[in-house]
């Protein structure tokens, strides 16, 4: 069995390990090539996609889409068979010069804020990423524009075809916002030495707003900010959101990422008059991924902790601490030529998830606030090519409300099965 990389984005633009931190611009000028190394970090994911260059056009383009069928029931209630077109993303990249690159991504998403209520109102097209990279030195690259904040690994590495599950991790989409991008500027750098890789990212950007504690979810909900139509031009707090990440990788051990994102989220000042205290949100995230060398088992995990300054006299249903994450284990069982495809793979996979929306105890009673969920999701996936995945998932989920009750239309036991397809093109 050939060596297999479980999140098989195997079309790689980043090959020149010694030349610099940016990708080799020549790679944008043709069909992407299959990666034969593991010299990459999660921070490379934004360019770690298949691009196609046509003729003499100065731009390479690509994209992906996700669609699925699902049948989900909670507490015995189901809305039946649902056919969903979740995402359609177009990205375009160009090499402006040897060390200046530009990449943009425009995405249609059925649920851009991770809010099920909003999903019923239809999806949206949004500019998810549009940034220029200027390399001064391999360890000092400037990036500016609409950037993806490097909080955790999923936010940077979220393309549907990379995953064996139709649903994105709950903690990384509803506790943290996924595809969380903002206007901003910063720097990044990385270096490879033998089996080791090091990288850092640091950005200042626009950030959150008051909706994270004033929303129709009834809980602290960072993704609520994504519904703002003005956040790309106006920062609610007038202060930058700081995002920083360091990554340490070894091609035999795996990659560890530690990241932080924080800043003032609320509108504390109106026309020069102070109307509230400055209130901060701080996010701490740890991610790790590896491939076990003997079994080629891929393990990806990410866990985040959020601390939020909630105004006094505010309902405790808006928690001041949240914690959650996921772990994916993907085991290739057959890899090679199947049904005429040269590099097909059949995988078994399992995802475990946990989210606690309200860490801590009730002030009134000193007893625990619940409002949590856990989920286990076995999966089978088939990849006729590394860029395309067919996946069959079965979700087993239990959820409690803040009082611990499991009786209700949206809490209690959820079971769901889904079959989906996602592909780069």
Out of 256, 350, 380, 421, the only residue in the binding site for another protein (CB under 8 A) is: 380
Give the separation between CA 314 and CA 299, rounded to whole angstroms. 40
CB of 45 to another protein, least distance (A): 28
- Which one, 130 or 280, has the nearer CB to another protein? 280
- Which one, 297 or 406, has the nearer CB to another protein? 406
Out of 346, 348, 350, 421, the only residue in the binding site for another protein (CB under 8 A) is: 346
- The candidate with the shortest Cα–Cα distance to 287, out of 113, 138, 156, 112, is 156
Site for another protein in 173-212 (CB under 8 A): 210-211
Give the separation between CA 198 and CA 9, rounded to whole angstroms. 20
Output the six-digit token pair for 279. 């209130």
CB of 314 to another protein, least distance (A): 6
Q: Are 357 and 175 in contact (CB under 8 A)?
A: yes
Q: Does the footprint of another protein cover residue 273 (CB under 8 A)?
A: no
CB of 80 to another protein, least distance (A): 8
Selected range binding another protein among 143-151, 171-179, 216-224, 238-246, rule: CB under 8 A: 216-224
CB of 368 to another protein, least distance (A): 7
Given the structure tokens 């990241």, which residue do they identify?
Answer: 259
Q: Does the footprint of another protein cover residue 402 (CB under 8 A)?
A: yes
CB of 220 to another protein, least distance (A): 12
Selected range binding another protein among 135-143, 148-156, 213-221, 232-240, rule: CB under 8 A: 213-221
Q: Are 338 and 325 in contact (CB under 8 A)?
A: no
Give the separation between CA 216 and CA 187, rounded to whole angstroms. 36
Q: Does the footprint of another protein cover residue 382 (CB under 8 A)?
A: yes
Binding mask of the shown chain, residues 357 to 376, with x at each position contacting another protein by CB under 8 A: -----xxxx-xxxx------
CB of 98 to another protein, least distance (A): 45
State how far the alpha carbon of 280 is from the alpha carbons of 158, 185, 195, 207, 292, in Å. 26, 20, 39, 11, 39
Q: Does the footprint of another protein cover residue 19 (CB under 8 A)?
A: no
Q: Does the footprint of another protein cover residue 81 (CB under 8 A)?
A: yes
Q: Does the footprint of another protein cover residue 230 (CB under 8 A)?
A: no
Q: Are 198 and 190 in contact (CB under 8 A)?
A: yes
Q: Does the footprint of another protein cover residue 250 (CB under 8 A)?
A: no
Q: Which residues pair with 264 in a beta bridge?
A: 280
Q: Does the footprint of another protein cover residue 109 (CB under 8 A)?
A: no
- Which one, 138 or 368, has the nearer CB to another protein? 368
- At residue 44, φ and ψ (nearest 5 deg) are -80, -10
Residues that bind another protein (CB under 8 A): 69, 71, 73-78, 81, 210-211, 213-218, 266, 275-276, 279, 311-317, 334, 336-340, 346, 362-365, 367-370, 380, 382, 392, 394, 401-415, 417, 419
């Amino acid at each position: 069995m050939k060596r297999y990389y479980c999140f098989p984005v195997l079309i790689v633009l980043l090959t020149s390990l010694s030349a610099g931190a940016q990708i080799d611009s020549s790679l944008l000028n043709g069909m992407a090539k299959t990666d034969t190394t593991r010299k990459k970090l999660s921070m490379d994911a934004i360019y770690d996609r298949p691009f196609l260059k046509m003729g003499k056009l100065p731009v390479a383009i690509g994209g992906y889409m996700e669609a699925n069928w699902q049948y989900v029931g909670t507490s015995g209630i189901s809305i039946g068979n649902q056919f969903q077109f979740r995402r359609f993303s177009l990205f375009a990249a160009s090499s402006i010069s040897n060390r200046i690159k530009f990449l943009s991504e425009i995405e249609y998403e059925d649920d851009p804020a991770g809010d099920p209520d909003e999903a019923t109102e239809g999806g949206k097209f949004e500019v998810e990423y549009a940034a220029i990279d200027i390399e001064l030195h391999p360890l000092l690259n400037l990036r500016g524009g609409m950037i993806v904040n490097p909080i955790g690994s999923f936010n940077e590495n979220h393309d549907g075809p990379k995953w064996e599950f139709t649903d994105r991790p709950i903690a990384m989409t509803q506790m943290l916002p996924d595809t969380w991008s903002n206007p901003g500027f910063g720097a990044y750098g990385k270096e490879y030495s033998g089996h080791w890789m090091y990288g850092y990212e640091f950005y200042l950007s626009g950030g959150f707003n008051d909706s994270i504690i004033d929303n129709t979810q009834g809980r602290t909900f960072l993704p609520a900010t994504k519904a703002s139509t003005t956040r790309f031009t106006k920062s609610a707090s007038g202060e930058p959101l700081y995002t920083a990440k360091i990554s340490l990788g070894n091609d035999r051990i795996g990659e560890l990422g530690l990241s932080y994102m924080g800043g003032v989220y609320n509108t504390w000042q109106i026309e020069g008059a102070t109307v509230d205290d400055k209130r901060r949100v701080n996010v701490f995230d740890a991610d790790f991924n590896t491939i076990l060398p003997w079994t080629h088992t891929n393990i990806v995990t990410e866990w985040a902790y959020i601390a939020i300054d909630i105004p006094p006299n505010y309902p405790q249903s808006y928690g001041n601490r949240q914690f959650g994450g996921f772990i994916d284990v993907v085991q290739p069982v057959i890899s090679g030529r199947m049904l005429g495809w040269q590099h097909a793979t059949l995988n078994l996979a399992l995802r475990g998830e946990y989210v606690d929306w309200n860490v801590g105890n009730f002030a009134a009673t000193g007893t625990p606030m619940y409002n949590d969920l856990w989920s286990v999701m076995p999966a089978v996936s088939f990849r006729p090519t590394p860029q395309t995945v067919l996946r069959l998932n079965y979700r087993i989920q239990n959820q409690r409300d803040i009082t611990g009750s499991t009786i209700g239309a949206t809490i209690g036991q959820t079971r769901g099965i889904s079959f989906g397809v996602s592909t780069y093109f």
